[in-house]
Structure 1
Amino acid sequence: MSLPTLPPELVDNIILYVAPADLVAVSHTCSSLCPVAQRLLYRHIAISPWSRNINVVATLAKRPDLAHFVRSFSITTAADPSLFSAFYRLLADALSGMTEVISLNLLVDSGASWILEKSGRNITYHRLEQFNCSFPLDFTVAEFLGKTPALLQLEVDSMPCVPSRPIPSLPATTIPRLAHFIGSARAARAIVPGRPLQSIHLNEGDLGEEDLASLAQANADVLVLGATASTPPVPLLESIARHLPHLAYLRIMTTYHFTQAPEVGFMDQVANALAALPDLTAFELSGMHWGSSKRGDDGSKRVWQSSPLGNTFNRSEDITTDSDIFLQY
């Protein structure tokens, strides 16, 4: 029995183990094997200057039947000055054909969000779960997000931008399943309220009371928070405890109190503030890792050590760094 005459599911399982270079040869073997090989060849695509495969964008733009096979697509071109608007038009066409994509990473010119315009008009990316981009949260990106009902993870507006640029409001029906967000504090104020966010990482902006009040409007318990701040750590931790009482992991980057030796009692004040977060198991303050232990099984509060972790501290209760919750960072 020849390979093309086997049941389709067996052919798929056999060709699944063929090396990418050999898949090209398989696609030219016969007409019945070509679609199977192409489906695997274009399933996962990572484009970068060092990979020398940027021509695949033109192929996908001209062949929407191949773009339909794409399940994960990643492109990095931000540092390549040789790319002109003609290339981005091809990229826009390619994206409009990836209607079955699950993971999409666009690390390109931050001013080229217009490549999403064609995709955001009459197309729904009903399977897209993860979207990372170098774009600000502008009206084009907001329209695109309205076409991603299954989105779980989002990174947007991570690059410093002009403060006067307006952030569009998002309808309540947009990205209703979003659980993980990475981006600026100003974008978080538009994205987090009313959505089931569990982990939030703010990599641009100064965390303050207004931001915390906005994050508290998530309709799920926020478990992970990473942010930068310039305010005194102790009052900030007290505000965090009021607004986000269910945090399990907290990372704060600040220069306050670290340009010189901390005041006497500073470590104890931080430890007391952390005690107001009953579910917190791991904390990092500007690179200093803290840990905790329970007094007993009577439900009493955790006791936080008032200095950076040492070799003698038992970290068995801490969140492990290889857990799913850390993969967002």
Structure 2
Amino acid sequence: MPVELNSAQSLTVDSALFLPNETLAAICRDLSPSVLTAVARVSRQWRGVAEWLLYSNIFISETFSASSPLPYNTLRCCQTIRLHSHLASGLHKLHIRWKSEHGAYHEPNFNMILSNLSQAIGLATNLESLDLHLGLSSLPEHPTSTSFTFPATDACYHSLRRVSLSGIGPFTHNRLTNFLHVLPAARHLRLPDYHDPITLLPQAIPSLISFSGSPRVAAAILPGRPVQSLVLIGQDYIPDLDLSQMALTSVPLCHLDLSSMLVTPTLLRNLSRNLNTVESLKVRLALRHTLHFAGIGLLAALSHLLGAFRNLSTLDLSPTHVDHTGLSNSAEELSLCRSWQNACPSLRRVVFPSQTAWTFHEGDNAWLPVIAGESRTRMWPGFYSFNKFLGS
């Protein structure tokens, strides 16, 4: 007995039979993961296209606990990628974040999971964005030390533009160096917890425009590369030799973010001598208690330091912590803006520890506070957030 199909069912069958994979992928590209999961049930062809799209951008966040000590979602995902080469070739974004609750411990099988992850990355040579935050440094080393091993591959990642590696356990220096050597398109690199010296070939990461990491690693990576944005993390003392190496970028360094370290007047002076091309400077001053007792008028002493930054247009002091909000004195802040601009004529925007932002208006030749609600708008053009990847 013939089966009659309604129009919707006919369209589904016809599409499954006659739509090329490219056309079907274009139609389904913007569907949510839950809808793609339903699409995968239509037919074998639709399942192949839906799976390819589902595995093109992978975001996994897992928490370890005493009752669940292994990242099973990561393991299943990596095993699937290893078994199906077409999924590996279509993978563009891989972001994995692990957290451990109190009482979590390292199981012997953990190395097997890390091995699967390394092999999956080795196959995904069309990656555009890689973000690994594994939290391994906080896991007890039981029964042996555990760390992620960079894939041993001769392949080149020609599309990989953004790389962030943190909490991946003890870095294996040679493997990290070899991995950086096969990233010709990398534009953004973040290594917040790597502190050892590193030696790269001159032609490595030639397209790098932003770096986030320790001063020692920055001093090794920046020379000869077109880095415009720099985020320094960690120590409150940087040797002059490291600062002079950071100044050897192939283009002027424009954006400097020091919000992840405590900056003393001495360090700021040394920075002004070596990195005086910056246009925007974000600083967390190590003056918490001093400001508490003396008030922000003390910051007038920064004038002679700011004068060394010949292109400085934005000074952001908002990361500087203070104990109370009484420091948001408009008269004092206005006076500081004028004083700093006299020393640094290019200055056009200042954000104070009070979070109040002041902007210089050329037409009125006056400093004015940003309107309420706008003062907290983030204007910093520095390093990217790995939670929100913007195309560049």
Name the TM-score, length of structure 2 as normaliser.
Answer: 0.69
Kept in 2, the 8 Å contact 1:241–1:276? The answer is: yes
Report the counterpart of residue 48 of structure 1 in structure 2: 61
Work out whether 1:273 is the aligned partner of 2:294: no
Of 19-28 and 187-196, deviating more is: 19-28
Distance 1:308 1:72, change over 3 A: closer
Over 3 Å counting, the alpha-carbon distance change for 1:316 and 1:294 in structure 2 is farther
C-alpha separation between the residues in 1 aligned to 2:203 and 2:357? 50
Rounded Cα–Cα distance in structure 2 between residues aligned with 1:65 and 1:21:
21
Matches within 5 A, 1:253-268: 253-255=284-286, 257-260=287-290, 261=293, 266-268=298-300
Residue matched to 1:126: 158
Mapped contact 1:295–1:301 kept (Cα < 8 A): no
Q: Do residues 39 (structure 1) and 73 (structure 2) align?
A: no
Deviates further, 242-251 or 10-19: 10-19
Aligned position for 2:179:
144
- Of the structure 1 ranges 173-182 and 73-82, higher mean CA displacement relative to structure 2 is found in 73-82
Q: 1:20 aligns with which of 33, 41, 57?
A: 33
Q: CA RMSD in A?
A: 3.6
Cα shift readout 1:123-179 (whole Å, capped 9, x = no counterpart) = 1111000000115472211110111110001111x2276xxxx52311111111111
Superposed displacement of residue 84, structure 1 = 0.9
Q: Distance in 1 between matches of 2:216 and 2:247?
A: 14
Counterpart among 103, 107, 112 of residue 86 in structure 1: 112
The alignment status of 1:117 with 2:143, answered yes or no, reads no
Task: Give the 3 Å change call, closer, same or farther, for CA 312–238 of structure 1 in structure 2.
Answer: closer
Query: Counterparts of 2:301 and 2:349 in 1: how far apart (Å)?
Result: 11
Deviation at 1:282, TM superposition (A): 2.1
- Which residue of the other structure, out of 24, 44, 62, is the alignment partner of 2:83? 62
Matching residue of 1:314: 359
Residues 49 and 308 of structure 1: CA distance in aligned 2, closer, same or farther (over 3 Å)? closer
Residue 246 (structure 1) aligned with residue 268 (structure 2) = no
- The answer as to whether partners of 1:27 and 1:38 remain within 8 angstroms in 2 is yes
The letter for the 2-side match of 1:129 is: R
Deviations 1:56-83 (A, max 9, x none): 1221233232122110001112526456
Query: Residues 90, 41 of structure 1: CA spacing in aligned structure 2 closer, same or farther, 3 A cutoff?
Result: same
CA contact (8 A) 2:235 2:262 kept: no
CA shift, 1:9, in A, is 4.3
State the partner residue of 1:104.
130
Amino acid at match of 1:117: P
SS for the counterpart of 1:61 is helix
SS in 1 for 2:39: helix
| Separation in structure 1 between the aligned mates of residue 125 and residue 360 of structure 2, nearest angstrom | 45
In our comparison, the structure showing a higher alpha carbon Rg is 2
Equivalents in 1 of 2:267, 2:205: separation in Å?
Answer: 29
Residue aligned with 1:190, SS: helix
1:154 paired residue number: 189
Confirm or deny: 8 A CA contact 2:52 2:87 kept in the other structure.
yes
Contact 1:221–1:246 under 8 Å retained in 2: yes
Give the TM-score normalised by structure 1. Answer: 0.81
CA distance in 1, matches of 2:350, 2:41: 65
Correspondent of 2:242 among 189, 211, 231: 211
Matched, 1:237 2:268: yes
Q: 1:283 to 1:303 in 2, by over 3 A?
A: closer
Name the structure 1 match of 2:390. none
Q: SS at 1:273's partner residue?
A: helix
> Which one of the candidate residues 355, 372, 384 is aligned to 1:328?
384
Corresponding residue for 2:212?
182
Alignment correspondent of 2:229: 199
- In structure 1, the gaps of 5 or more residues are none
Segments of structure 2 that go 5 or more residues without pairing to the other structure are 1-10, 64-70, 138-144, 322-327, 363-369, 386-392
Secondary structure of 1:117's aligned partner: coil
Distance 1:11 1:33 in 2: 8
Deviation of 1:316 after TM superposition, in Å, equals 6.3
**Aligned residue pairs, count:** 318
Letter in 2 for 1:95: I
Aligned partner letter, 2:212: I
Alpha-carbon distance in structure 2 between the residues aligned to 1:59 and 1:102 = 20
How much has 1:250 moved relative to structure 2?
A: 1.2
Conserved? CA contact 1:129–1:152, under 8 Å: yes
